[in-house]
Amino acid sequence: MKTLFVGAGSMAHALLNGALEARVLEKENVYVTNRSNRQRLTEVTNHFGVNGVHAPLPSHEPFDVVILAMKPKDFQSAAPAVKHFLTGDTLVISVLAGIGIEQIREALSFNGAIARAMPNTSASVGRSATAVTCNGSLSEKQREWTMKFFSSVGLAVEVPEEQMDLITAVSGSGPAYIYYVAEMLEKAAVDLGLHSELAKALIRETISGASMMLEKSGLEAEILRKNVTSPGGTTEAGISVLDKYGVSEAFTHCVDAAKNRSKEMGSELLLNRVK
């Protein structure tokens, strides 16, 4: 499949890393373009051995697949150039947070196959959790290829589009929440007397082990937590402080804020079109 990535940022890098390693993509058939950062484009093309396409974009190169991986705010300005790469048989895949299939269709003046996906940057190590939604124009072959592509970088599930904003908030942004927890645990450990390198090693292995338990034990997170929390013990003392400071409620507000921001990003695109 001749594939064009429009955007050379962290998400494109993660998807390229996973899909090339899984051989879902062949580097000689992969092209990458980036609107303004020539250095970043050169770094990506050299790292992966793929083809770079420099602006102004040529108009004579249709692609089997075009993957929209620019910043969401740049989509509207990039759309006129992207149109040149599309034919009636092209599969357009968007990994842009907050931008719906209908908005993509209108901006590209494209009535063909469009899939919208929300992976996360763990795709670079083959452990993304990706939600995918498709319009009715995908052929069975295109739908199978889309799911194979995202399955090559982790778990891929097909969902209704109305769930995408919430999924963006949960699994799209989710790795950052885990990194934040790791960052705060390390800071607390160092502030209370542990050497930084020791704290990092212990926390990384603790998170890795907990993740493996969630994956392999077959037990719910609540049960695993309770199994560690002995009455009157150290874990209970720590959890009681988290409860006191409303950490549970904070996570609910965190996910809700991210979900609402995903919706706002789509609305902002519509406002920009009106202007």
**Are 88 and 82 a contacting pair, CB within 8 Å?**
no
User: Per residue in 174-194, pLDDT tens?
Assistant: 999 999 999 999 999 999 999
User: Per residue in 32-91, pLDDT tens?
Assistant: 998 777 888 999 999 999 999 875 555 556 799 999 999 988 999 899 989 888 999 999
Max CA-CA distance within the chain?
71
Q: Which domains does the chain have, with CATH numbers?
A: 3-160 (3.40.50.720), 172-257 (1.10.3730.10)
User: Does 18 have pLDDT greater than 70?
Assistant: yes
| Pick from 70, 61, 68, 71: nearest CA to 29 | 61
pLDDT of residue 59: 58
Give the CA radius of gyration of the chain: 21
**Are 1 and 146 a contacting pair, CB within 8 Å?**
no
pLDDT of residue 274: 46
CB-based burial, 54-87: b 16+ in 10 Å, e otherwise: eeebeeeeebebbbbbbebeebbebbebbeebbe
At position 226, the amino acid (one-letter code) is K
Q: What does each C-alpha distance from 274 to 79, 83, 262 come to in angstroms?
A: 15, 20, 19
How far apart are alpha carbons 198 and 36 in whole angstroms?
A: 41
How far apart are alpha carbons 252 and 273 in whole angstroms?
A: 32
pLDDT of residue 35: 77
| Pick from 132, 121, 125, 218: nearest CA to 176 | 121
The 3-state DSSP class for residue 110 equals: coil
Q: Which residue has the tokens 């799911």?
A: 147
How far apart are alpha carbons 154 and 126 in whole angstroms?
A: 5
| Pick from 22, 8, 9: nearest CA to 149 | 22
User: Does 257 have pLDDT greater than 90?
Assistant: yes
pTM value surpassing 0.75:
yes
User: Per residue in 86-119, pLDDT tens?
Assistant: 999 999 999 998 899 999 999 999 999 999 999 9
